[in-house]
């Protein structure tokens, strides 16, 4: 019982000496000990007449006139007691004796006569006797009217469970608080919580539920007030026709939420063997979509996109028909050159101690054709058959002498022009003589030279020629020796 209901019931109990206060104004009639619920008409005589239910005149009945009250008094009643009149249409009690009608002019002694006598010999007027009753009835009637106006019959539906209840709440927020219904940021209340209430209103509360949704390969964390998978998909605008669902559409979603995988139907085109095949599928991978198109991969066949990737709507996938073979090729491995300094040799002079030899390796290549087109060979392995041998060269660091006594005054330039045209690397047609002064190899090496004369610097060739002149004169150059001018 609310505080207002208790206040109205207590006021009525104090005003009616024949009623015991009970829940919602329960009273006990003096002649029939009956407990009456709130809003039920008394079936026994009441103090204020005949009470009626809501919608009949007066919640506690109609008022008697003073004449009716006096007519109800019976001669012989004890002083200070008044018998309550019966309601209209109510039969007298079986054990109650019928009262004889009193003569109008016979002031028979009784309770009413005793009550009418004033202490000084006068009588109490009817207005004075009815005034307290009228005040109490007016108070109760006004309180009951306010009580009825505040009471509202509404329908509250919480997460799909409806119930009809009476409330004194002024708005939706107060109603939910009275009913112990707590709502959060993701919950939905219709109408809004600040909306005022009137009798007959319908209030709906839908709790939010977390949904871990994987839609076409992409993960989302969303909230929904749908109570089933189908309601949630409809609320989120997800097209479920032809889609794969990891849970049935009728499956309920609890307050704790649900993990749901949805793959909508998509159009995928597969290009294979010169044909295009378009299929509508909810496959999870490109490989599954290709298989759904009736295309089989064989051997080294591949796809233009990763087979494990998620197929997108409108995507085109090309099947690559691959044939391949292996080829072995022999390749030369170049040798390295190692140079060491030799102070016994003149600067610019080199002596090869080891000629060097290239190595040999066998290389395996993969040859492929993709859809009939040959691709660039791809190296897949190698094996060294013979390792290379380094070339070893000694390089001179000794300074070249500036001249040779007895030969420095000669015209060596003219001799070089006559013999080789002034070219240090010149070689005669037979390959026997080389250099500026056309040395043969034996003569060159006897003068301290190394290797071939045409490979030595011009300064060294001139130095060796001067030494030869000192030993043998101009005879080594029978046709051009006269040019020396000596």
| Tokens found for residue 294 | 């009736």
> Largest Cα–Cα distance in the chain?
202
> Do 55 and 132 belong to one domain?
yes
Mark which of 394, 429, 453 sits at the end of a domain.
394
The per-residue pLDDT string of the chain (486 residues; one tens digit each, 9 = 90 and over) reads: 444 444 444 444 444 434 344 434 334 333 333 333 333 333 334 333 434 444 434 443 333 333 333 333 444 444 443 343 333 333 333 343 444 444 334 444 443 344 344 444 444 444 445 555 555 444 555 555 555 557 999 999 998 899 999 999 999 999 999 999 999 999 999 999 889 999 999 999 999 999 999 998 899 999 999 999 999 999 999 988 889 999 999 999 999 999 999 999 999 999 999 899 999 999 999 999 999 999 999 888 999 999 999 999 999 999 999 998 899 999 999 999 999 999 988 787 788 899 999 999 999 999 999 988 998 999 999 999 999 999 999 998 888 777 888 899 999 999 999 999 999 999 999 999 999 999 999 999 999 888 899 988 898 899 999 999 999 999 999 999 999 986
- Across all residues in the chain, what is the average pLDDT? 76
Residue 100 belongs to some domain of the structure: no
The answer, as to whether pTM is greater than 0.85, is no
Which pairs with CB-CB distance under 8 Å and at least 24 residues apart come from 119-128? 126/66, 126/69, 126/70, 127/66
Range of the domain at 254: 209-263
CATH number at residue 378: 2.20.230.10
Say how far apart CA 149 and CA 143 lie, in whole Å: 10
Residue 314's region, left for phi above 0, alpha for psi from -120 to 50, else beta, is: left
Together in a domain, 213 and 202: no
Mark whether 15 and 80 lie in a shared domain: yes
Closest CA to 454 of 437, 471, 468: 437
What is the C-alpha separation between 32 and 47, in angstroms, rounded?
Answer: 13
Q: Judging by beta carbons within 10 Å of its beta carbon (0-12, 13-18, 19+), is residue 121 exposed, middle or buried?
A: exposed
- Give the pair of three-digit tokens for residue 356: 């060097």
Do 417 and 281 reside in the same domain of the chain?
A: no
What confidence tens digit (pLDDT) does each residue in 192-242 have? 988 999 999 999 999 999 999 999 889 999 999 999 999 999 999 998 888
Q: Are 282 and 244 in contact (CB under 8 A)?
A: yes
* The total number of structural domains that make up the chain: 6
Query: What CATH number corresponds to the domain at position 451?
Result: 1.10.530.10
Domain boundary among 304, 320, 336: 320
CA of residue 240 relative to chain centroid, distance: 19
- Shared domain check, 411 and 301: no
User: Are 463 and 435 a contacting pair, CB within 8 Å?
Assistant: no
User: Is 422 in contact with 401 (CB distance < 8 Å)?
Assistant: no
Q: Is residue 92 assigned to a domain? A: no
> Do 338 and 427 reside in the same domain of the chain?
no
- My answer on whether 291 and 420 are in the same domain is no
Nearest Cα to Cα of residue 175 among 161, 187, 159, 192: 192
Q: Are 450 and 376 in contact (CB under 8 A)?
A: no
Shared domain check, 72 and 19? yes
* Shared-domain flag, residues 163 and 289: no
Query: Do residue 139 and residue 7 come from a single domain?
Result: yes
Query: Residues 17, 132: one domain?
Result: yes
Q: Which pLDDT score, from 0 to 100, does residue 451 have? A: 85
Pairing mode of beta strands 391-398, 209-215: unpaired
- Is 95 part of a structural domain of the chain? no
What CATH number did the domain enclosing 230 receive? Answer: 3.10.20
Same domain as 348, residue 388: yes
Q: Contact, 441 vs 452, CB < 8 A?
A: yes
* Tally of CB atoms within 10 A around 327: 11
Non-local (6+) Cβ contacts of 113 within 8 A are: 73, 75, 107
Residue 26 and residue 37 in contact, taking contact as beta carbons nearer than 8 Å: yes
- Chain position carrying tokens 């009637």: 141
Nearest alpha-carbon partner for 470 in 416, 406, 401: 406
d(CA 142, CA 119): 36
């Amino acid at each position: 019982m609310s505080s207002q209901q208790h206040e109205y019931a207590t006021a009525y109990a104090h005003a009616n000496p024949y009623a015991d206060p009970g829940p919602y104004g329960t009273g006990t009639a003096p002649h029939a000990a009956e407990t009456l619920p709130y809003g039920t008409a008394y079936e026994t005589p009441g103090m204020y007449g005949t009470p009626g239910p809501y919608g009949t005149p007066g919640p506690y009945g109609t008022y008697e006139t003073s004449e009716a009250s006096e007519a109800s008094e019976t001669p012989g009643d004890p002083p200070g007691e008044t018998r309550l009149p019966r309601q209209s249409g109510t039969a007298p009690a079986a054990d109650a004796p019928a009262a004889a009608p009193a003569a109008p002019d016979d002031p028979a002694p009784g309770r009413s006569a005793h009550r009418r006598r004033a202490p000084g010999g006068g009588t109490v007027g009817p207005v004075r006797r009815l005034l307290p009753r009228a005040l109490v009835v007016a108070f109760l009637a006004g309180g009951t009217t306010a009580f009825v106006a505040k009471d509202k019959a509404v329908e509250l539906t919480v997460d799909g469970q409806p119930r009809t209840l009476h409330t004194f709440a002024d708005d939706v927020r107060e109603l939910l608080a009275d009913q112990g219904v707590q709502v959060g940021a993701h919950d939905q209340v219709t109408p809004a919580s600040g909306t005022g209430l009137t009798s007959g209103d319908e209030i709906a509360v839908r709790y939010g539920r977390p949904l871990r949704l994987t839609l076409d390969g992409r993960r989302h964390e969303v909230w929904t007030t749908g109570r089933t998978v189908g309601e949630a998909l409809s609320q989120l605008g997800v097209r479920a026709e032809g889609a794969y669902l990891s849970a049935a559409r009728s499956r309920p979603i609890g307050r704790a939420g649900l993990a749901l995988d949805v793959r909508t139907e998509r159009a995928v085109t597969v290009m294979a063997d010169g044909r295009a095949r378009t299929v509508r599928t909810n496959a999870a991978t490109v490989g599954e979509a290709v298989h759904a198109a009736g295309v089989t991969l064989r051997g080294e066949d591949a796809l233009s996109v990763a087979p494990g990737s998620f197929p997108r709507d409108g995507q085109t996938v090309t099947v690559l028909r691959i044939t391949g073979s292996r080829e072995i090729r022999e390749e030369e491995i170049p040798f390295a050159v190692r140079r060491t300094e030799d102070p016994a040799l003149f600067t610019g002079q080199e002596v090869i101690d080891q000629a060097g030899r290239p190595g040999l390796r066998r290389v395996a290549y993969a040859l492929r054709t993709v859809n009939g087109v040959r691709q660039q060979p791809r190296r897949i392995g190698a094996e060294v058959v013979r390792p290379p041998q380094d070339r070893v060269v000694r390089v001179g660091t000794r300074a070249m002498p500036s001249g040779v006594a007895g030969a420095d005054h000669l015209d060596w330039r003219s001799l070089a022009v006559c013999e080789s045209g002034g070219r240090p690397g010149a070689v005669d047609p037979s390959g026997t003589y080389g250099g500026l002064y056309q040395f043969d190899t034996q003569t060159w090496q006897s003068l301290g030279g190394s290797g071939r004369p045409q490979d030595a610097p011009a300064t060294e060739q001139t130095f060796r020629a001067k030494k030869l002149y000192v030993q043998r004169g101009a005879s080594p150059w029978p046709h051009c020796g006269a040019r020396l001018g000596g």
